[in-house]
């Protein structure tokens, strides 16, 4: 099937996390070996060797992976159960399905679509949803379906969110807010059932509320940045995946700060999306482990 | 006199700022020329060509500068008065006198003393004042006087501040808080009468209050930084001079974040001090112009 | 006329350079003032106050600039002649015409077209010329004409270069080689008569010849970069406009180094193009002054 | 014993490398477990899952490590022998002994001594050797022995190298050239018997020979950098450990480039030294794996 990446055929990614204790690494490695897997890469992190949290990402090659998956999963359940560990096993040849929500700004949206076309992102893009129509033609040029869901006036967004949820339902593995300028409700987050990644500008110090670039200009900041994070009910406060900054000076106008900010935003978001798509990011409490 | 730098003999630095209007640059340049000065470098910035604020820094060479200073100043008063501009004229061969206030941490303190000894900072260091004694021997090895002013218990710091003010009075041109961990009172700032530069850690987002590195660790930030700024009554909120960041990962412990932060702090503070000492920084409202 | 930018109407950019000597800044500023110009920004640099080279960039606002240009130019000739200085005066509301030469890689090409559409580059793009056809549809989606000039087999490129020169002649103000993989002849450079900007990968240390990313991988470099420069007869050796780097590790494959390199290349090239288009870059010998 | 770090007591670092093949990770993890070790951190890298090179670094905690070492080593020999793998096992509580060779410049030397005093480098410093005497007092202030070995005039350095070798012999685990300006002979490298780390300036492009900062200035580079590497017979060409750069502009004089370069040099060298001291760097051919 064309959506599968033949270069990654028979590659599995195993994520394990839970309370740290002696013997986990040995148990997991032995499991991979007895299931005829050959470890391609392995990352491991423990927040504290004594009573800490354990995180592991193992990529292994296993001939006829699809046929063996059920058997491996049974072995995982039996092996990791006694340790009280959680695990997920994914087939790396199956790209994740990524929906993009956008508004008028196109810099993050187009960068994602272009990187996807270049083969830099191991995803498929079943749809772009926007509350504006200005990017429709560009999106369709990339061969991606575009859906217009106008933003609902007033604080109640339930109807437009319901339309979006209906489009997404069953069709996507994660959602990217590519400068989507509508507030997402807690109810939406609960019902969407897949991870949602957001990008927003970041400053040192932070500037709350409207007109952040104007405030940054007034305060004379020397760096502006961007943060990509998983969306939680605390807007702009979820676990951080990636951040970066760029230098600015007093000569830069608020408009130029915003332009420079756009460059950082698209770079940071594309890295965060790639890492999520490759199962490199593990959420733990309000932070992430990025392998 | 040994405190003067012969390489900068007869070099003047003229700072001009005030309401922008046509003809300022021409008037200043003509003034320098008719006073037999040769412009070495010139930086100019206008916040807005229409009704904006104008800032200019001109370094010029003038044979026998000391003898001519009174005459040049009279010309400046006469020339710039009609424009409603403020100005300062400094002799670049006379280094500014910098006092350093420190506490237990030595990273910013020693970096400044070491850069000064290497000739990287155009300043003299008449004294280091600390509320601890651990750095006394190091400071004196650099040939710099060390004064111990213990911190006063309780919220009232007036007595220890009075001691510090007495040491500083008439002896310094600016003060650097090199990780000085005592709160400075508004009264102190008023009476010290010279600029005070501070350095503090910075994050995206900001973490308020105690234990910022622990909070940054919990939140999983990917960048930690430092901000150097002029001290105003709003602690940690004055005009920013310089900022920088360094990348960190989930592997770094809170202690390692602090260590990485220390490296950024000393780098950012030393740049801010050099720029201030070279009259490159102009304060305007709550931000700075750095030429 | 639609190609002119109304926001920059009546703004002139004056570049002056030549042997440094007292009084130049005053003379230029007086000239601007007596021609009813109001200085918007001014940058000045002297390689050495004694017998050095002087460089100045002045942007000024002059009502009815177009009508006054001839008069200002006459004044410039009369004023700067005695100093032995060269000068150019440009109308900032008239965008420079930029031709892009490309090959198969689209990352630099599309980033330039996309930034142009966003209004980030003060240029027009009269044509893209490529020795391949794969980007034709993308280019035309941006409303830009695409011309295919196949590369001529063998070392003699005179015929294909002649075709390109015929397309460019009289139609462009500068040429950008956006990963154009054909060697440009000295004859072409002479006849094209406009500046040509190139982008290439850069490493510490440099890797000469074919397969640079593979060599960089073998040598275990920790940074890869890109350099944008004006093209001279010494290929890849002309005056540098901009450079940047990105960190890599032993985990990155040669393919990933190339991908990371592509990101740096498009960022560096777009900055170099913007600065050239805004008349911020002055060539002097084999280096540049970037204001 | 005071040279041992109690916080790292009973922590072992195991480095394994050799031809990749299925089952290595499982075998190593099982070995650690059956020897009552608890894995604290584990990094693993394979240059290619099929016929590539395998590298692994495992830090584990083992009560009574010293008493158990011989037994663990016997198990390692028996377990890893069949795989054809090489391994080293080190006790992390025993700091490596680092000798520093220096010349007149003090920036790298003092930064290492100061970081060591702060506890940032897990090493002891049994000696500093210099061909100049200017840093003697500073070095001794840090409580470190200073030996002066004057450089031998002429191309034959065998006598001064013999003196240095006699001082080093049996006393050090690695040598750092902290801007040591004498050429090291191949004979010295053979006889010293421990790794030697060097730091040198780096540019894009590289500038060969004398006066690199002047050449960089003439060429107008926008970035200057530094590279830390293991010394091999090809001077300045050994496996790279770490690199970094800093931005510069046309305004910076050759002296300022050198000063900025010094800041990058000391930062890069201190990172390389820390990583080497923590057994994070594995040499392979002409490159390194840095875990």
Gap between the Cα atoms of C35 and C62, Å rounded = 8
State the average pLDDT for chain C.
Answer: 92
Q: Are B174 and B165 in contact (CB under 8 A)?
A: no
Note whether A65 and A130 are same-domain residues: no
Note whether A21 and A137 are same-domain residues: no
Is there a domain that residue B1 lies in? no
pLDDT of residue A10: 94
Is there a domain that residue B140 lies in? yes
User: Which residues on chain A are in Cβ contact (under 8 Å) with D57?
Assistant: none
Note whether D87 and D174 are same-domain residues: no
Note whether D202 and D274 are same-domain residues: yes
Q: How many beta-carbon pairs under 8 angstroms link A with D? A: 66
The shortest CB-CB distance from D243 to any of C204, C218, C288 is to: C204
pLDDT of residue D2: 43
B114, B117, B121, B141: best mutation site toward chain D, by most D Cβ within 10 Å?
Answer: B114
Q: Are A101 and A149 in contact (CB under 8 A)?
A: no
B16, B37, B44: best mutation site toward chain C, by most C Cβ within 10 Å?
Answer: B44
pLDDT of residue C76: 97
Note whether B68 and B100 are same-domain residues: no
What is the percent of chain A where pLDDT is above 70?
A: 96
Query: In D, residues 58-97, which contact B (CB 8 Å cutoff)?
Result: none
pLDDT of residue A159: 95
Distance between C276 CA and the closest CA of chain B, angstroms? 21
Q: Which residues of D are catalytically annotated?
A: 236
B290 touches chain A (CB under 8 A): yes
Q: What is the tens place of the pLDDT at every residue in D218-260? A: 888 899 999 999 999 876 678 999 999 999 999 888 888 889 9
A53 touches chain D (CB under 8 A): no
pLDDT higher than 70, residue A206? no
Q: Are D226 and D201 in contact (CB under 8 A)?
A: yes
What CATH number is associated with residue C35?
3.30.70.260
Note whether D151 and D283 are same-domain residues: yes
Last residue of one domain, picked from the residues D91, D120, D142: D91
Are D29 and A25 in contact (CB < 8 Å)? yes
Question: What are the b/e assignments for A260-270, b being 16+ CB within 10 Å?
Answer: bbbbbbbbbbb
The shortest CB-CB distance from A287 to any of B227, B250, B285 is to: B250
Q: Give the neighbours of chain C: at least 3 Cβ pairs within 8 Å.
A: A, B, D
pLDDT of residue C216: 79
Note whether C49 and C123 are same-domain residues: no
Are D286 and C218 in contact (CB < 8 Å)? yes
pLDDT of residue C57: 96
Q: Which alpha helices (DSSP H) does chain A contain, by range?
A: 24-34, 65-80, 107-118, 136-141, 158-168, 186-192, 212-219, 254-277
- Rounded to an integer, the average pLDDT of D204-209 is 66
Q: What is the tens place of the pLDDT at every residue in A9-18? A: 999 999 999 9
Residue in B with minimal Cα distance to A227? B204
The parent domain of residue C72 ranges over 6-91
Last residue of one domain, picked from the residues C91, C118, C138: C91
DSSP code for D150: P
Gap between the Cα atoms of C230 and B233, Å rounded = 50
C43, C75, C91, C236: the catalytic one is: C236
**Angle between helix A24-34 and helix A65-80 axes, rounded to 10 deg:** 150
Are D43 and A43 in contact (CB < 8 Å)? yes
Note whether D84 and D224 are same-domain residues: no
Note whether B24 and B110 are same-domain residues: no
Is there a domain that residue C1 lies in? no
- Rounded to an integer, the average pLDDT of D160-165 is 97
User: Which residues on chain A are in Cβ contact (under 8 Å) with B244?
Assistant: 222-223
Last residue of one domain, picked from the residues C61, C91, C121: C91
Other beta carbons within 10 angstroms of residue C71's beta carbon come to 10
Is there a domain that residue C41 lies in? yes
Note whether B55 and B173 are same-domain residues: no
User: Which residues on chain A are in Cβ contact (under 8 Å) with C120?
Assistant: 259
Of D177 and C5, the one with more pLDDT = D177
- Rounded to an integer, the average pLDDT of D208-215 is 74
Query: In C, residues 122-151, which contact A (CB 8 Å cutoff)?
Result: 138, 141
pLDDT of residue C2: 43
A220 touches chain B (CB under 8 A): yes
Question: What are the b/e assignments for C239-259, b being 16+ CB within 10 Å?
Answer: bbbbbbbeebebebeeeebbb
pLDDT higher than 60, residue A1? no
pLDDT of residue D220: 85
D290 touches chain C (CB under 8 A): yes
Of B91 and D208, the one with more pLDDT = B91
Distance between C206 CA and the closest CA of chain D, angstroms? 6
The yes-or-no answer on residue A43 being catalytic is no
Is there a domain that residue A252 lies in? yes
Residues of chain B with pLDDT below 70 are 1-3, 205-209, 235-236
Are C39 and B46 in contact (CB < 8 Å)? yes
pLDDT grade, residue A254 (50/70/90)? confident
Residue in D with minimal Cα distance to C283? D220
pLDDT higher than 70, residue D208? no
Are B220 and A288 in contact (CB < 8 Å)? yes
Note whether B165 and B251 are same-domain residues: yes
CA distance readout (Å), D14 to A23, A33, D58: 16, 21, 5
User: Which residues on chain A are in Cβ contact (under 8 Å) with C110?
Assistant: 114
What is the percent of chain D where pLDDT is above 70?
A: 96
Are C259 and A120 in contact (CB < 8 Å)? yes
pLDDT of residue C206: 66
pLDDT of residue A282: 96
Q: Give the neighbours of chain B: at least 3 Cβ pairs within 8 Å.
A: A, C, D
Q: Which alpha helices (DSSP H) does A142-253 contain, by range?
A: 158-168, 186-192, 212-219
pLDDT of residue C93: 94
Residue in C with minimal Cα distance to A264? C267
Compute CA A208 distance to the chain's CA centroid, rounded to the nearest angstrom: 24
Residue in B with minimal Cα distance to C44? B42
Is there a domain that residue D271 lies in? yes
Instruction: List the beta bridge partners of residue C243.
Output: C227
- Rounded to an integer, the average pLDDT of A205-223 is 77
User: Which residues on chain C are in Cβ contact (under 8 Å) with D202?
Assistant: 204-205
The shortest CB-CB distance from A38 to any of D32, D45, D49 is to: D49
Is there a domain that residue B54 lies in? yes
What CATH number is associated with residue D160?
3.40.50.170
DSSP code for C220: T
Note whether A132 and A272 are same-domain residues: yes
Token pair for residue C3? 């190609």
Are B40 and C49 in contact (CB < 8 Å)? yes
Other beta carbons within 10 angstroms of residue C36's beta carbon come to 15
How many domains does chain D fold into?
2
Residues of chain C with pLDDT below 50 are 1-2
pLDDT of residue C207: 64
Token pair 């300043």: residue: B123
Is there a domain that residue B205 lies in? yes
pLDDT of residue A207: 63
User: Which residues on chain C are in Cβ contact (under 8 Å) with A107?
Assistant: 118
């Amino acid at each position: 099937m064309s959506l599968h990446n033949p270069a990654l055929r028979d590659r599995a990614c195993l994520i394990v996390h839970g309370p740290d204790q002696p013997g986990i690494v040995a148990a997991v490695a032995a499991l991979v070996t007895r299931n005829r897997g050959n470890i391609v890469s392995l990352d491991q992190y423990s927040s504290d060797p004594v009573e800490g949290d354990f995180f592991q990402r193992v990529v292994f090659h296993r001939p006829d992976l699809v046929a063996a998956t059920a058997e491996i999963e049974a072995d995982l359940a039996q092996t990791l159960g006694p340790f009280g560990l959680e695990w997920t096993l994914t087939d790396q040849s199956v790209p994740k399905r990524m929906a993009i929500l956008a508004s008028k700004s196109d810099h993050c949206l187009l960068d994602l679509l272009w990187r996807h076309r270049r083969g830099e992102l191991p995803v498929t893009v079943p749809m772009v949803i926007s509350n504006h129509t200005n990017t429709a033609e560009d999106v369709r040029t990339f061969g991606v379906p575009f859906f217009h869901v106008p933003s609902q006036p007033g604080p109640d967004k339930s109807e437009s969110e319901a339309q979006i949820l209906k489009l997404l339902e069953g069709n996507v593995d994660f959602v990217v807010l590519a400068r989507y300028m509508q507030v997402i409700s807690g109810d939406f987050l609960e019902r969407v059932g897949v991870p949602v990644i957001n990008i927003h500008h970041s400053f040192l110090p932070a500037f709350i509320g409207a007109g952040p670039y104007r405030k940054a200009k007034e305060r004379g900041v020397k760096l502006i940045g961007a943060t990509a994070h998983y969306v939680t009910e605390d807007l702009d406060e979820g676990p951080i995946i990636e951040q970066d900054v760029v230098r600015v000076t007093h000569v830069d106008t608020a408009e130029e700060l915003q332009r420079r900010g756009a460059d950082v935003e698209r770079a940071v978001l594309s890295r965060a999306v790639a890492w999520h798509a490759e199962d490199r990011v593990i959420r733990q409490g309000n932070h992430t482990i990025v392998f």
